[in-house]
Structure 1
Amino acid sequence: MRLIGMLDSPYVRRVAIALRLLDIPFEHDPLSVFSTFDQFSRVNPVVKAPTLVCDDGTVLMDSGLIIDYAEALAGRSLWPADLASRTRALRATGLALAACEKVMQIYYEHNLRPAAHAPWLERVHQQLRAALAGLDAEIARHPPSADEKSLTQDGLCAAIAWRFMQIKLATPVADAACPALSAFAARVEALPSFLATPADDRVTVSTPGYRAP
């Protein structure tokens, strides 16, 4: 199978690391939805990253749906088994993905629009602050596993979200603003599957940083 998309996308990186954790071999084709739009469109006309080309040629998209397919293929899940733990994991994962979405919106607002829309940006920053505060509190109360063999979706997404905002915001979020999240992410980023799937931090950005409450 072939994974399409660049690893500076948290959604592409989420899938790539999940495939490694599930021991599913894949080829990575780092096409950009911007600079290689036409080439990407020949694989998936929707041009959505991540895109997964299955062994039978079926084209899948959306990180959550791709991981659902991968878990079915592997015969095991990256979600906790018991309901209480899964509920906490679902909440933390939602917060992490919301943070990624808000960082992406801030990045696009400053890099793709002629002029930033200040009221909209302030609302997005407020949403990002709320997502980070909630995620940091969840990790402080219920620390996910930082072990390669028992890492679940909430821990995977939390670490990816933290790294993503460090490379996409011109002023990185300070560790002191999210102490539980930053410490957890540092441990997870040292795992072999993360080291083998680095975020692309060669991207030059001009995006304002996180503004603490």
Structure 2
Amino acid sequence: MQLIGMLDSPYVRRVAICLKLLEIEFEHRAISVFSGFDRFKAINPVVKAPTLVLADGQILMDSSLILEYAAGIAPSGRALLPNQGAARLNALQLNGLALAACEKTVQIVYEQQLRPLEKQHQPWLDRVQGQLLAAYAELEKQLLQSAVSPFMGSAEVSVAVAWSFTQLMLPGQISDEQHPTLAALAAQAEQHPAFISTPQV
């Protein structure tokens, strides 16, 4: 099984960390969708990261779908989400907010770094930045309302990966002081062996 994509993508990093938590063996191939476009296209014509290549050559893409598949093949007793009830709903909500934060960060980065300055649309940037701020405000609020748990699953991974990604790509836009619970969760997660062995840079 091969995971294709760069770890500076929060989606690739999310999958890689979760696969390690599930104790699923895989080979990581760091191929960029930009500088390695042709190499990536030879593996997956859609050129979408992350791409998971199965042992029989079949491919999966989209981080959430890859993790859904991974949950079905994980060793017994390994899980990424609580089984049921309020804890499961909370984890799904955290995942959704974290993925929204990743998406909005990517949109801002692409607009600012890939589009020529004269073609950048400030009203669009303002809207996306507002959505990014809202996602992190909701994450902070939801984490404050959640019971503290030692469980490390896809929700905690997604939140920590999203926070670290935004801090790396948009430094200063989302402050630790306004999101102390988020910042603390991410700092603690980044000390976990699965995170340490999967650095974003």
- Bin of the TM-score, shorter chain as denominator length: over 0.9
The runs of 4+ residues in structure 1 deviating greater than 4 Å are: none
Whether the 8 Å CA contact 2:7–2:200 is kept in 1: the answer is yes
1:124 maps to which residue? 128
Contact 1:49-1:62 within 8 A present in 2 as well: yes
Shift, 1:143, TM fit = 4.7
TM score, norm. by length of structure 1 = 0.89
Corresponding residue number in structure 2 for 1:164: 165
Gaps of 5+ in 2: none
Residues of 1 paired with 2:171 and 2:84: CA distance?
Answer: 40
Q: Name structure 1 gaps, 5 residues minimum.
A: 201-213
Q: Is the 8 A contact 1:144 1:154 kept in 2?
A: no
Contact 1:44-1:51 at 8 Å conserved across structures: yes
1:145-166: CA deviations, max 9, x gaps?
A: 3x4xx31221111000010001
* Count of residue pairs brought into register by the alignment: 197
Aligned residue number for residue 10 of structure 1? 10
Q: Which residue of 2 aligns with 1:197?
A: 198
Partners of 1:92 and 1:15 lie apart in 2 by 16
Separation of aligned partners in 2, 1:73 and 1:64: 15
Match of 2:177, SS state, is helix
One-letter amino acid of the counterpart of residue 189, structure 2:
V
Q: For the residues of structure 2 that align with 1:143 and 1:27, how far apart are their CA atoms?
A: 35
Root-mean-square deviation (CA, aligned residues, Å) is: 1.2
User: Identity over aligned residues, as a percent?
Assistant: 53
**1:106 corresponding residue in structure 2:** 108
Contact 1:4–1:30 under 8 Å retained in 2: yes
TM-score with structure 2 setting the length: 0.94
The residue that corresponds to 1:179 in the other structure is 180
Corresponding residue SS for 2:40? helix
* Amino acid across the alignment from 1:20: K
Match of 2:146 in 1: 142
